[in-house]
Structure 1
Amino acid sequence: MESSEEAITLARQMEASRMDSSLYKAVIRGRTQKLEQERQLDSQTTPNKNTILHVAAEFGKTQCVDVILKACLSLLKQVNLKGETALHVAAREGHIDVVKALVAGAKALHEELEIGTGAVRDLLGVTNNKKSTALHEAVRNRHLEVVKYLLEEDSEFPYVGNDAGETPLYMAAERGYAKLVHAILEACTSPAHDGPKGRTALHAAVSCKDKGMIEDILRKKPFLVKEADEHGWTPLHWAAYFDSSLIIIQLLQHDESVAYLKDKEGMTALHVAATRGSTCSLKKLMAKCPDCIEMVDEKGQNVLHVAVEKGQKNVVNYILENPLLGSLINEEDKSRNTPLHLLAESQNYNPKLISHPKVDKKAVNTAHLTALEIIHTSTLIKMGITERFHATQYHR
């Protein structure tokens, strides 16, 4: 008997809630009379646990919102199954008048309960199941007017990252929403700039190749030019990776020292440009910081080493044709490999490097091999494998 009753109780608990259809229709049509007649507005929810206030917010029915809040102010902070308040919904949909009405409701709640100065901040700070605030939702959906209003209400609110690690500023920058980036930087005292994987809003702006957005961020947060992501890449590394020569110039004009910063593998932005085959970026970096050509990575390799290893002939040839870069040609890495050794190991063919008058073809690495001996060793190994294969086939 008890188990049967328990089953019935469980079934009732699992049964989806539903809102009175006439009430739902009245709200989406903006008819307030039905709302004024309803005595238990707080008990009405949809299957996703949206309250009547959520519904009014979604459809932008400001007059309905006013009536609902007057009757049941506690609905302000009630959340649906996604953890969203009505403010989340209104911000996502871009209904600025509804957003204002909800914030006004929070202020009324503050006066009613005498809870100090935190009623509006509490509402702004509610996060949904993805740890996003109403501001996150307004930014994600590019609602500039809503963003500006929310920031005006509390310019010092410490907006942190959502479960994806995105702060509102980073989110705006990553999506290329330059006007939103400007609005956040102008309105906030000290807006959080973090993004996922150690990235910052400046990394995101560089990936968008937006000079104006970059300038806005650097003006408010100049230190971000040196901030590195989890791989040790600064925004300049990113600019080199994307071959954004104009952005490279912009960042170097702001702070030349970033050209000498290394990532976790010891690579500078110049190394990145070389691995990408970006001669234009290479030229811009060297024009502003000519001695950065001397930088080597954790393997002791210069830009010619990495360009040879990655098979970037255009970069290799550019370096070989530049008389100011002759010192790189025979430079050794930690294994005493010259760029010619690496060319032999890669089995690529570059006649300009092989025949360059400065190349030392007799240089030996730590294995006491010249570049020619590396080629011969590799050839013999291949021949041995082939011979063994043929011998096996023959004896079968």
Structure 2
Amino acid sequence: MNNEDYKAKYAIHEACREGQTTKVETLLSSNSKLAHLRDPDERLPIHWAVSYNHLSIVELLVQVKSFDVDVPDAAGWTPLMMACSRKNGDGEQVAELLLRKGADVNMKNNNGQTALHFVSSHPPALDLARKLIETHKASARVKDRRGHLPLHRAAAVGSVPLLKLLLSSGKSPINATDIDGMTALHHAVSEGHGDAALFLLTQGAEWDKKDHEGHVALELAPDAKTRKYILQAAEREGIDLE
């Protein structure tokens, strides 16, 4: 298939990427089955519209007959996962629309990740994370193929509010390990997030737990300044790390 044929066949996918709402509406009016056309990546138009956060186009596509809100692409990503993976957290409106349509919050992609894994990587998405857990019963106890819980991700980005949510409402285990034997505390310390590390310690994180290479979390501090901060802050909380 040459480039021109490709563009013609997948015109609706391109329109969804570019945010061309009127064009999408015209194409659907002439042939509603285009909403179910998969491109070479097994993506439907809905996947592209959600990925690029074009709410008006998503609103059109969810009204198409036989719309499947949980339809996965080749990698197992659902539209909800894509909305939740928006780096600046601006996919909340699209995510809420998909949730109203009955999106399954606990579906896993091919790497075992759920929507909550992606939300937990983006601190601006705190409100969305709360809705997933408290309103839609997303589980914070699901591990992906690398053994990561959403808690590991929140620790790696240093978000104390997300950690609080996952431990309280989400009832996430605090000392669970990934395939490298690393806990959330290991991830927080290794990324230099002293405040997140301190919070985990005050919540019962086991500071002396070793990863598969025999390291306790404090040994993974990226520099002396971070290590000193954690030691002093922990001491003020009555936690002896030495």
Normalization by structure 1: what TM-score? 0.51
* Change in CA separation of 1:250 and 1:171 when aligned onto 2, cut-off 3 Å: same
Aligned-pair identity (%): 23
Which residue of structure 2 aligns with residue 293 of structure 1? 174
Which residue of structure 2 aligns with residue 368 of structure 1? none
Cα pair 1:330 1:338 within 8 Å, conserved:
yes
Query: Which of 151, 172, 175 is matched with 1:270 structurally?
Result: 151
Matches within 5 A, 1:24-39: none
Which residue of structure 1 aligns with residue 196 of structure 2? 315
Give me the whole-angstrom Cα distance separating, in 2, the residues matched to 1:186 and 1:298. 42
Structure with more contact order per residue of length (Cα contacts < 8 Å, sep ≥ 6): 2
Which residue of structure 2 aligns with residue 236 of structure 1? 116
Give me the whole-angstrom Cα distance separating, in 2, the residues matched to 1:307 and 1:335. 17
Q: Structure 2: which amino acid aligns with 1:203?
A: M
Does residue 48 of structure 2 align to residue 174 of structure 1? no
Computing the radius of gyration over CA atoms, which structure comes out larger, 1 or 2?
A: 1
* Change in CA separation of 1:335 and 1:257 when aligned onto 2, cut-off 3 Å: farther
Which residue of structure 1 aligns with residue 132 of structure 2? 251
* Change in CA separation of 1:129 and 1:329 when aligned onto 2, cut-off 3 Å: same
Cα pair 2:35 2:61 within 8 Å, conserved:
no
* Change in CA separation of 1:135 and 1:352 when aligned onto 2, cut-off 3 Å: closer
Give me the whole-angstrom Cα distance separating, in 2, the residues matched to 1:257 and 1:172. 24
Q: Structure 2: which amino acid aligns with 1:188?
A: K
Please provide the CA RMSD for this pair: 3.2
**What are the Cα deviations for residues 206-252 of structure 1, in whole angstroms up to 9, with x where unaligned?**
215232211221233522x2334454332212112121211211221
Larger helix proportion, structure 1 or 2? 1
- 1:339 deviates by 2.5
- 1:269 deviates by 1.1
Does residue 209 of structure 2 align to residue 328 of structure 1? no
Structure 1 residue runs of 5 or longer lacking an equivalent are 1-78, 84-127, 362-396
Normalization by structure 2: what TM-score? 0.78
Which residue of structure 2 aligns with residue 183 of structure 1? 60
Residues paired across the two proteins, number? 233
Which residue of structure 2 aligns with residue 136 of structure 1? 13
4+ aligned runs moved over 6 Å, structure 1 = none
Cα pair 1:203 1:235 within 8 Å, conserved:
yes
